[in-house]
Structure 1
């Protein structure tokens, strides 16, 4: 699988920071709120926001969170606060809220996989609600942490969960670009070395285990699909990866397109 060209990290960094600053100024808001997961996407997004000089609130929202994710998130927040005086943080432990909600919802006669996936998405939606609470009381915008292959390739995010944001500063960057930018921004090495994981199942299950392919593989498939390249010379693994990408891209189109509106044209 051929690698795509790498980005010019310094220029991309400057471009995104200026874009964030201009957007916030035009929106007449004080800054940004970012949910911190202990992963590369939220680390890079919060660091980009911090460089604007505007107020940045980093929010931890554990729900039965694996300790390694918590540790990485706290390490990043401490580093960010040491580097930028405009960064503050808060923790909102949503575990009890999540458990209370679970008790009010029916769980019997539901297939286990379906129930677990639905509850995982419920976690993400509780976090979205929490981020908007802090955004509302502080006059901030919710900065999204989704990247291009997740948001527009395979739809690997929760609709109205981590997909519910005000603006998306890194959504035109592939995952590999985000890692390159993270290295340039000197985010903690523990985050750069960690296997990507959405952390929605309370364990160390990686994104690759859930998706069936690595981000490098999915980026390759996305580029192949965009270029409409011939599939004649695919290896067996490339065929499998491309099928994974096409299947996920198809079933998750509802996340990537505008909400359908029934147009009334009858008289």
Structure 2
């Protein structure tokens, strides 16, 4: 039996639009770590996990101390237990810049930064893959994790990697999505990974997408770094930075949802290669 079915195109696109539409709306005020809107985003993600049959859902709370900041934050976890020997972690951070502040690259640093691509797109992809992968029995368990605290220092992923529950182990590898909604005419989907995963991408293709090995060390500076430190294989995917990165103009109307669907098909094809 194949590891996963292919997505129903219209269903997946509509679903991912719904997720981004909620997370990247002006009402969510940029989903800053520790904010009221971060809690709303976490609750939304948990509700989506709860819709998936047999998905075990929990909130993982942690504290952040950074200079004068004292914040409470949370990761949201969905576990699909196929009673397999190993688990694949699939992740994306859901926080963004709030009203911008010092990390904004926009001239308007005190306005809402919606973060449609960064990283509502990654969360939408993760949630839709959770919906699809849970439909069939697989050789792996799947652990879906939405991190917070990314934009101010990768705090959520650090806490998660440092508190892995015994029932989730051993981890086969972790795959991370960070800004995957701007596939352009080049079709380039950039990846960076542990050396042991490099040869696994030869058959992972889909129409309109070409996998490109990043020349930039992303796995060492993104949410994957904490897994690398624990000798867990990692891979991270992105469609790349763009002129709206960390600006008030990172909005849903600039996302390529047909492209996001193509990215999803590549991800599912790649996971199939481990069957």
* TM-score normalised to structure 1 length: 0.29
* TM-score normalised to structure 2 length: 0.28
The answer to which structure has the higher helix fraction is: 1
The structure that has the greater radius of gyration is: 1
Bigger relative contact order, structure 1 or 2, given CA contacts below 8 A and separation 6+?
2
The answer to which structure has the higher strand fraction is: 2
